[in-house]
Structure 1
């Protein structure tokens, strides 16, 4: 499973995929309001159907992307576009979370999460343009 020619790239994909599947994708897909409570979000009163719907849609989209990323583990050099996708998603998530932090519309956990997205971004860019070049 781990590519002997590019073990760092393969291990990055294994670790990042596992982390995001367990911490974000599956909880959002199956229990979006519970996930939100874990991260300190206030759950609105009244009808929560739209909130649950968007949470599950985001979880499904994340799980689908992570499934695609996992396919690159055995041969990351041939799937370098996955590192482009990870860096794009991570970069956009940094912007989204910084905007929420500036506006003070998110719990502290989401502001701290900026560091997680930054690490994912830096490693994806570094592996894509240094390790796999």
Structure 2
């Protein structure tokens, strides 16, 4: 399940995929309000829309995790999955930077900046080393 030609990229994808699946995708999809409380968010009185948005994001995150798992054994054949992962991580990095600058999010979300910056930086470096990469 690890590509011998691109073992570092394979390991990176497995680790990011599992961490994202367990740390974000499943909790957001199944128990978004509990996840939000654990991350220090104050919850609104009207919660139906919050639950809806959390589950929507969780559903997208589940699919992103599945694509990451599909790409991990053979990253060179699944460049689009890496591009989507890196694009998603870059978008989430911007969202978290914006929230941090405006002081609108709990400190736990500010810590996630490091995770998204690592995924974008190191993942981009690994992606650029694959034949056919756009970078």
Instruction: Please confirm whether the aligned pair reaches a TM-score higher than 0.5, indicating the same fold.
Output: yes
In 2: Cα distance, 1:57 partner to 1:81 partner: 22
CA RMSD, 1 decimal: 0.9
User: Which residue of 2 is the match for residue 82 of structure 1?
Assistant: 81
Aligned to 1:48: 47
Give the match for residue 66 of structure 1. Answer: 65
Listed as ranges, the gaps of 5+ residues in structure 2 are none
| 1:74-113: CA deviation from partner (whole Å, max 9, x where unpaired) | 1111112222112111111111111101111110111111
TM superposition score normalised by structure 1: 0.95
* Residue correspondences, number: 131
TM-score by length of 2: 0.93
Distance 2:86 2:63 in 1: 16
Whole-angstrom CA distance in 2 between matches of 1:17 and 1:122: 16
Matches within 5 A, 1:1-133: 1-45=1-45, 47-130=46-129, 132-133=130-131
Query: Which 5+ residue runs of structure 1 have no aligned equivalent?
Result: none
